[in-house]
Amino acid sequence: MRPIRFLFLAAASLFLAGQLAAATRPRYGGTLHIETRARLALLDPAKLPAVPGQLALANQLLFLTGDRLVRFDSSGHLSPSLALHWRAAPGYRDWTFDLRPGVKFQDGKPMLAGDVVAALTPLHPLWHLRAVGLQLTILLPQPEPDLLLQLALPENSILRIGPNGLPIGTGPFRITRFTDNRITLVANNTAWQGRPFLNGVVIRMGRASREQWIDLELGRADLVQIPPDRVHRAHESHVRVWTSQPNQLVALVFDRRSSAAANASVRQALAGAVDRSALRDVLLQKQGEVARAILPSWLTGYSFLFTPSPGPATPAVPAPAADASLPKLSLAYDASDSLLASFAARIAVDARAVGLRLQLQPQPPAAVVTAPADVRLVRQPIESLDPAGALQQIVSALGLRGVVTLPASATPDRLYAAEKALLATHWLIPLVDLPEIYGLGSRVKDWMPSPVPLAGGWRLAQVWKEPE
Amino acid sequence: MRLRLKLFLISAALVAVSVVAVAWSVSAITRRAFERVERTHTDALVAQFEEEYTRRGEGVSERVAAIKGTESVLRMVVDLSRPGGDASLYVNEATPLAASHQLDFLDLLSGNGTIISSASWPARFGYKEDWALSAPTGQPFLHLWPLPNGKAVALTAVGVVTLRGKKFYIVGGQRLDKQFLASLALPRGMHALLYLNTTPAFSPGNLLSPSSSIVHAERLASLVDQVRHQKRPVTTTIDWTADPTSAETFYTLPLSGPRGHLLAVLLLGNSRRDLVLLVRYIRLTALAVGAASVLLGLALSWWAAARVARPVLELAGGARQVAAGRWDTRVDVSSRDEVGELARSFNRMTAQLVEQRERLLQAERVAAWRELARRLAHELKNPLFPLQITVENLQRARQSSPEQFDEVFRESTGTLLAELANLKTILDRFGDFAKMPAPERQPLDLNELVRGVVRLFEAQFTAPGRAPIRAELSLDAELEPIQADPHLLRRAVENLVLNALDAMPRGGTLTLATARRDGLAELRVSDTGSGLTPEERDRLFTPYYTTKQHGTGLGLAVVQSIVSDHGGQISVESAPDRGTTFRVLLPAGGREAGRGTAAEGGRNA
């Protein structure tokens, strides 16, 4: 080859390489447009919503706007955040934290230990918090070996409420506007972790799945929620899909006040009738996992020990013989949740195969818990990274306190026994574990959220957006 | 019932029967005509329904065939016919296909009948519908579709797609609903209902109507149950309310599936309102016409009856006059028909009666004179013969025994005087009878009079030389005084008692009884003598008739005359060897008993 051509080729190669390098390099700027189905009215760590969708969004906002004393790193280990060091006295009741110096709130005010006390006290009235300079002492009413797990949760974000009622934290983004259908966040230029790449984030709330999908396709949205039954279509459309670890349990919960539900045969019959595989394979399009236990496998690691759920609800299924005296049952569920609606319809079909008649009662989201129904179909988010704490929360949230005695300590064997005992009563019938599924616009780069949303959320601080 | 009334009733009945017969005939003819029209309408409606049913069925078949050729179905078939094909990807395929092809039901089934996707019941994926594997393909049929909250009946068609030896079934259906019924063009007064046989027992909620909800739908329960049981058309009439105009005649058409199960019943109702109103109108008209006819018939029959009855009534009146004794009655009827002939015969008859009565009277007079003469001759002869003998004895004595003539003269003159007194007595009796005085009425106690007469004859009851006679009194103490002449009536009672005594020469019982009968005073005088023969009884009251050797034969005639003059009546009851009873009826308080004598044979007193 002649030298000039070689030089030209070399120059062209270098130019192209440079262009490619430029294309993968994070850039500052841009606004990330996110759309969600849930709608939040306010953000207050002390008043987190109970509706799973709203709670998930609230947690994401807490991760965006605030920091915790500790956090999970990308490998899932607890690492310092607002607290640099910590130590626990023997007995795990007395904890001391050394706070990170130089941290400022988004309004420029320095963060002190007193701010941490002020933030955590409403959330934990029984804790005795004391601040001295940048040192925080927490005296617990009972031993908490896994206090750090708890402190890493978004509900323990260190926030103040500003004069305009909006929360002020130390996180990478600050809420500048909060309306009934839109939340606007701007980058925190003084974030102690560094300014995020994005200039801002706009979250449009209350968007239906179809609208989100259209906006994603049209480029009006960068991050949308994708229902499980559309994942296949998203793949066909070459949309990037990200799925988290299952962090929601979909389950049937019998009302202990119901006389019909008091019949153990009824509960057992329904537990054996539901075809979980059909729910997961068809209605969820193989997204999520069949729930063998109450807690997901990634949290406990022992769910495989539980008996696999029965096969399809056909006459071949060895379900309990249908008792002619089995009563009708009313099944309540969130009418606004199309997934639960399809689950309920399928469960009713499966129940009919064993002689049970389910009367479906769609309810407004806030009325599902209080509606007079024999059984409820619910989504129960995993609200703790501590298995024992998660089990406690699920049992408490689903009104199952006292059904079994939950262990005070979190040893796996005792936890397993407690779960097994609870499942044997059939007051709670786990069905599937649901993940969060998002579709990403093609311009969204470095999307690396926490696989367990509760452990870190979207992590938008490192996300950047390719210019058009 | 009077003749005129009879004639009126007969003519009124004839008119009424005629009107009723006409009204019934018209009603029956009208009803049959209505039923014919109703049948025609029903047949036309059934034909229209069947045509629409067939058309819709063909429409469903065409839609199913169209769905078979859609890209989505072909893609699904291609994908699932390969090994490892994932049916879960197509769980929502049926709903948009059904909507785009205007089908209410659409199931996509795999080769073994497993539901891949269901538009009407999406949650049933994975379950089997084995019936589709043996269902007729390409031809529409009626099928019962299961739904989450019940069942529905739909016109259904099955299509089959085969690829790589694997079959896939496309089952589509259109619901039989109100819109289907609304598509039928119904004549006035008719309406169509559709009963969906989706529950074991009749349920009003399964009854579809294109218009508003059906009131009293449960009244159709028995009709529907009949069809469900018999599985063939049934016709019946339903009364929705107590008002007959609300009635409807229903014709039913059972609709079955391919296996013969009854899935729906078409009910075609035809209002009977017009018929009922028309029949009612006919009846009212008939009633009005009948009433007018009856009134007209009343007038006509009254006039006709008058014309017919008058001569009959005159004849009847004439007969009454004749019966009352006015034999010279004549009837004035001048018509030339049978009634006139009857009247003329009546007049001839009465003229003959009068003539015969005159002759009879004359003959009776003659007979009476002859009898009187005979009697006189007989009565007078008795005393005259001794007179003659006595005079002859005097003549002989004067001639033959002058010395005995004085004695003979004394005896003879005594005999002559006695016989002359006897003659005078006889003549007095005749004279008394001839000049019987009119009664001088005054209040009289009949019981006391009877007692007085009995006392008078007491001595005779037990007179020596005769068998004793026992007298019995049975007097009504409540008998009121009567208006009568005490002397005449006493004489009559005495004559009766004398007659009874004469009838018992060998003794017996004399019974006198009084009583009140029908406002009259009754006196009964009974004896236990030998009784009377019928001939004697008939002539008993004839003057100068007697059965005794002695006597004038005037006693009972006097009694009869006295009773008759008092406005009373006397009768006799007697039979041979059974005694005789005289029964006298006298008016009480001025009322007359009726004149005349009645001889009653064969009865004892």
Kindly report, residue by residue over A274-328, the tens digit of the pLDDT: 999 999 999 999 999 999 899 998 988 888 888 765 544 443 332 333 344 556 8
Q: Same structural domain for residues A184 and A293?
A: no
Interface test with B, best of A232, A236, A276, A282 (most B CBs within 10 A): A282
Q: Is A5 domain-assigned? A: no
Distance from CA of A273 to the nearest CA of B (A): 13
Q: Is A6 domain-assigned? A: no
CB contact under 8 A, A345 and B126: no
- In sequence order, the β-bridge partners of residue A225 are A438
Query: Which carries the bigger pLDDT value, residue B600 or residue B406?
Result: B406
Q: Is A96 domain-assigned? A: yes
Query: Which carries the bigger pLDDT value, residue B3 or residue A133?
Result: A133
Q: Same structural domain for residues A203 and A318?
A: no
Give A408's pLDDT tier (boundaries 50, 70, 90).
Answer: low
In this prediction, residue B460 carries a pLDDT of: 86
In this prediction, residue A22 carries a pLDDT of: 52
CB-based contact B398:B405 (threshold 8 Å) = yes
For the residues of A163-223, what is the DSSP string, one character each? TTS-EE-SSSEEEEEE-SSEEEEEE-TT-TT---SSSEEEEE-S--HHHHHHHHHHTS-SE
CB-based contact A175:A66 (threshold 8 Å) = no
* Per-residue pLDDT at B448 exceeds 50: yes
Rounded to the nearest angstrom, the gap between the alpha carbon of residue A130 and the centroid of all alpha carbons in its chain is 31
* Per-residue pLDDT at B471 exceeds 70: yes
* Residue A108 Rama label (left phi>0; alpha psi -120 to 50; beta): left
* Per-residue pLDDT at A11 exceeds 80: no
Query: Which carries the bigger pLDDT value, residue B366 or residue B591?
Result: B366
* Per-residue pLDDT at B388 exceeds 90: no
Question: What is the rounded CA–CA span in Å between residue A150 and residue B178?
Answer: 62
Instruction: Give me the count of residues in chain B.
Output: 605
Most confident of A413-427, B332-346, B432-446: A413-427
* Per-residue pLDDT at B126 exceeds 50: yes
CB contact under 8 A, B121 and A312: no
Chain A positions touching B123 (Cβ under 8 A) are 342, 345-346, 348-349
Average pLDDT, chain B: 84
Distance from CA of A237 to the nearest CA of B (A): 15
Q: Same structural domain for residues A52 and A148?
A: yes
Rounded to the nearest angstrom, the gap between the alpha carbon of residue B422 and the centroid of all alpha carbons in its chain is 74
Distance from CA of B88 to the nearest CA of A (A): 5
Tell me: the pLDDT tens digits for A247-260? Answer: 999 999 999 999 88
Q: Same structural domain for residues A235 and A264?
A: no
Question: What is the rounded CA–CA span in Å between residue B67 and residue B332?
Answer: 109
Q: Same structural domain for residues A350 and A458?
A: no
Most confident of A139-148, A307-316, B427-436: A139-148
Q: Is A3 domain-assigned? A: no
Question: What is the rounded CA–CA span in Å between residue B411 and residue A244?
Answer: 188
Using only C-alpha atoms, what is the Rg of chain B? Answer: 58
Of B88, B123, B127, the CB nearest to A285: B88
Chain B positions touching A281 (Cβ under 8 A) are 88
* Per-residue pLDDT at B335 exceeds 80: no
Using a pLDDT cut of 90, give the percent of chain B over it: 31
CATH number at residue A401: 3.10.105.10
Q: Is A164 domain-assigned? A: yes
In this prediction, residue A321 carries a pLDDT of: 37
Mean pLDDT value across residues B463-476: 90
The DSSP output letter for A280 is I
CB contact under 8 A, B126 and A275: yes
In this prediction, residue A64 carries a pLDDT of: 96
Mean pLDDT value across residues A52-70: 94
Q: Same structural domain for residues A406 and A442?
A: no
What backbone torsions phi and psi does residue B271 show, to the nearest 5 degrees? Answer: -65, 135
In this prediction, residue B395 carries a pLDDT of: 86
Strand B597-601 versus strand B569-574 pairing type: parallel
- Other CB atoms within 10 A of residue B545 CB: 16
Range(s) of the domain holding residue A31: 11-16+27-243+436-465
Q: Same structural domain for residues A206 and A297?
A: no
Tell me: the pLDDT tens digits for B64-87? Answer: 999 999 999 999 999 999 998 899
Give B592's pLDDT tier (boundaries 50, 70, 90).
Answer: low
* Per-residue pLDDT at A2 exceeds 70: no
Name the domain count of chain A: 2
Judge residue B416's burial from the number of C-beta atoms within 10 Å of its C-beta, 0-12 exposed, 13-18 middle, 19 or more buried. middle
In this prediction, residue B212 carries a pLDDT of: 65
Q: Is A4 domain-assigned? A: no
Distance from CA of A50 to the nearest CA of B (A): 28
- In sequence order, the β-bridge partners of residue B115 are B109
Mean pLDDT value across residues A56-67: 95
CB contact under 8 A, B125 and A282: yes
Q: Is A95 domain-assigned? A: yes
In this prediction, residue B553 carries a pLDDT of: 66
Strand intervals (E) in A289-355: 289-290, 328-334
Mean pLDDT lowest for which of A453-457, B136-140, B370-374, B555-559? B370-374
Q: Same structural domain for residues A216 and A333?
A: no
CB contact under 8 A, A278 and B125: yes
pTM higher than 0.90: no
Of A229, A232, A312, the CB nearest to B126: A312
Q: Same structural domain for residues A357 and A223?
A: no
- Other CB atoms within 10 A of residue B399 CB: 9
In this prediction, residue B20 carries a pLDDT of: 81
Mean pLDDT value across residues A433-461: 92
CB-based contact A363:A320 (threshold 8 Å) = no
Residues 6+ positions from B575 with CB-CB distance below 8 Å = B531, B532, B601, B602, B603, B604
Of A229, A286, A348, the CB nearest to B123: A348
Question: What is the rounded CA–CA span in Å between residue A187 and residue A393?
Answer: 34
The one-letter amino acid code at A286 reads K
In this prediction, residue B247 carries a pLDDT of: 83
Rounded to the nearest angstrom, the gap between the alpha carbon of residue A80 and the centroid of all alpha carbons in its chain is 22
Question: What is the rounded CA–CA span in Å between residue B526 and residue B500?
Answer: 7
Q: Same structural domain for residues A204 and A254?
A: no
CB contact under 8 A, B91 and A282: yes
Tell me: the pLDDT tens digits for B500-522? Answer: 999 999 999 999 999 998 889 99
Give B97's pLDDT tier (boundaries 50, 70, 90).
Answer: very high
Element (H, E) at A358: strand A357-363
* Per-residue pLDDT at B259 exceeds 90: no
Query: Which carries the bigger pLDDT value, residue A405 or residue A153?
Result: A153
CATH number at residue A157: 3.40.190.10
Tell me: the pLDDT tens digits for B4-59? Answer: 778 778 877 887 788 788 878 887 888 888 888 878 878 888 888 888 888 999 99
In this prediction, residue A318 carries a pLDDT of: 29
Give B605's pLDDT tier (boundaries 50, 70, 90).
Answer: very low
Tell me: the pLDDT tens digits for A187-205? Answer: 999 999 999 999 999 999 9
Task: Report the greatest alpha carbon distance in chain A.
Answer: 94
Interface test with A, best of B75, B76, B80, B89 (most A CBs within 10 A): B89
Q: Is A150 domain-assigned? A: yes
| Complex-level ipTM beyond the 0.85 threshold | no
Q: Same structural domain for residues A230 and A337?
A: no
Chain A positions touching B89 (Cβ under 8 A) are 232, 285
Q: Same structural domain for residues A290 and A370?
A: yes
